[in-house]
């Protein structure tokens, strides 16, 4: 653990494992002492009861749209690809567009009919860090996986934290349950994707640190085949100050919980009494539905959260820490077979 000599840390872990084993509360499979002390510690701290509720598997992946790599060489305005050097403003919830077309503006366009066929080129449109983009998926748009889609591009830098918000309209005539794909500079496979909720929440929200310098592309589409609908799209620099921000993977080699065999990863941070924290876990490519557990050093669970809306994210929101302590975060999948890359953050 941070700030603890290696020898003392191993003695503590050894005693803790021995204690929990004798009381029947240990859930983790036996691991060699040389393994990560954080993983051993956090896995040993999880109580059995909160994990006994049935896990709900995510929707079948084959039903989710996956457009082809978006074009970036041909742009709709013919201009050079801009660098993201413009001043950034905080990303706030946006109002869905209320009319057809695709424009960059602070106000939605006022006229057009998305019900009539519209001819649109399958080219990418430049996206900046200031404006809100409004558009309508409609007949005449490029189609992939039997779904209309639009493509945007922007220039990003390695380790740059960004936030993307895609909001679908709730208008009964042109409502949209949106899907967002983010492609990296190589354009071969998406590095992240987000889905709008199935019920009243029509927003797909993504926070991510960009993995490399280059041109990134955003694809906007719908969960339903051939669905026409309005949306708004905003890109911003992420100004949040993080206490912890990690990108990790759930794999077959990850530590396992003994109860259900699910893979997990664990992290620690130092917290103060009365401090409020938000803890978020996002399956970046929408590969599994995450669960989060917040524990203290006495193996007591402070808070939990799971992805119940099948948006591939879980959030422990504004939880107050009870004392000065070392706190642990454990992330696993609601479905024990879940695997994939995820981001966990504390702020």
Decide if 154 contacts 181 (C-beta within 8 A).
Answer: no
Residue range(s) in the chain whose domain bears CATH number 2.60.120.380:
6-45+241-346, 61-237
Give the span between the Cα atoms of 278 and 319, in whole angstroms: 7
Per residue, what are the HEC states of 91-105? CCCCCCCCCCCCEEE
Model pTM score: 0.67
Q: In whole angstroms, give the CA distance from residue 69 to residue 144.
A: 10
pLDDT band, very low/low/confident/very high, at 44 (cuts 50, 70, 90): low
| CATH among 3.40.50.2300, 3.20.20.60, 2.40.50.100, 2.60.120.380 for 61-237 | 2.60.120.380
How far is the first Cα of the chain from the last one, in angstroms, to the nearest whole number?
A: 20
DSSP, residue by residue, 128-150: -SSSEEEEEE-TTS-EETTEE-E
CA 49 remoteness from chain centre? 27
- Residue at token pair 């409502």: 175
CA atoms within 13 A on the CB side of 346: 22
Q: Of all helices (H) and strands (E), which one includes residue 10?
A: helix 6-23
- Average pLDDT (208-236) is 94
CA nearest neighbour of 311 among 216, 226, 192, 208: 192
Range 6-45+241-346 classified under CATH 2.40.33.10: no
Residue 151 CA to residue 155 CA, distance in Å, equals 14
Residues with Cβ within 8 Å of residue 145, at least 6 apart in sequence: 65, 66, 67, 221, 225
- 141: closest CA among 76, 194, 205, 94? 76
Report the 10 Å Cβ neighbour count for 25: 14
pLDDT at 203 over 80: yes
Total residue count of the chain as it appears in this document = 347
Beta bridge partners of 150: 220
> What confidence tens digit (pLDDT) does each residue in 76-86 have?
554 443 333 23
pLDDT score, position 201: 61
Q: What is the pLDDT of residues 247-285, one digit of tens each?
A: 999 999 999 988 888 999 999 999 999 999 999 999 998
Please give the helix or strand (H or E) that residue 16 lies within, else none. helix 6-23
- Which of 93-107, 189-203, 287-301 is modeled with the greatest confidence? 287-301
Placement of tokens 């970036």 in the chain: 72
Higher-pLDDT residue of 55, 156? 156
| DSSP tag of 322 | -
Contact 141, 118 (CB under 8 A): yes
Q: Which residue has 């960059």 as its token pair?
A: 104
Say which DSSP state 35 is in: S
């Amino acid at each position: 653990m941070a700030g603890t000599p290696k020898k003392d840390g191993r003695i503590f872990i050894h005693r803790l494992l021995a204690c929990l084993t004798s009381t029947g509360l240990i859930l983790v499979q036996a691991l060699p002492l040389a393994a990560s002390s954080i993983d051993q510690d956090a896995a040993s701290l999880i109580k059995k009861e909160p994990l006994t509720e049935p896990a709900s598997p995510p929707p079948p992946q084959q039903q989710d749209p996956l457009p082809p790599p978006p074009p970036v060489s041909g742009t709709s305005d013919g201009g050079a690809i801009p660098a993201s050097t413009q001043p950034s403003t905080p990303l706030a919830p946006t109002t869905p567009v209320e009319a057809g077309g695709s424009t960059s503006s602070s106000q939605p366009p006022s006229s057009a009919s998305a019900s009539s066929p519209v001819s649109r080129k399958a080219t990418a449109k430049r996206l900046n860090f200031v404006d809100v983009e409004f558009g309508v998926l409609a007949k005449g748009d490029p189609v992939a996986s039997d779904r209309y889609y639009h493509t945007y591009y922007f220039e990003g830098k390695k380790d740059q934290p960004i936030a993307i918000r895609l909001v679908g309209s709730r208008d009964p005539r042109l409502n949209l349950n949106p899907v967002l794909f983010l492609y990296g500079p190589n354009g071969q496979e998406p590095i992240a994707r987000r889905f709008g909720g199935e019920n009243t929440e029509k927003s797909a929200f993504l926070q991510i640190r960009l993995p490399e310098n280059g041109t990134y592309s955003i694809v906007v589409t719908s969960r339903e085949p051939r669905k026409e609908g309005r949306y708004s799209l905003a890109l911003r620099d992420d100004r949040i100050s993080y206490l912890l921000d990690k990108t990790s993977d759930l794999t077959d080699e990850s530590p396992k919980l003994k109860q259900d065999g699910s893979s997990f990863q664990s992290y620690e941070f130092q917290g103060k009494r009365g401090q409020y924290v938000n803890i978020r876990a996002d399956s970046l490519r929408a590969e599994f539905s995450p669960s989060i557990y917040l524990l203290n050093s006495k193996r007591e669970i402070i808070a939990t959260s799971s992805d119940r809306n099948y948006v591939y994210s879980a959030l422990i929101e504004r939880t107050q820490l009870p004392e000065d302590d070392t706190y642990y975060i454990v992330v696993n999948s609601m479905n024990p077979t879940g695997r994939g890359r995820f981001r966990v953050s504390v702020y």
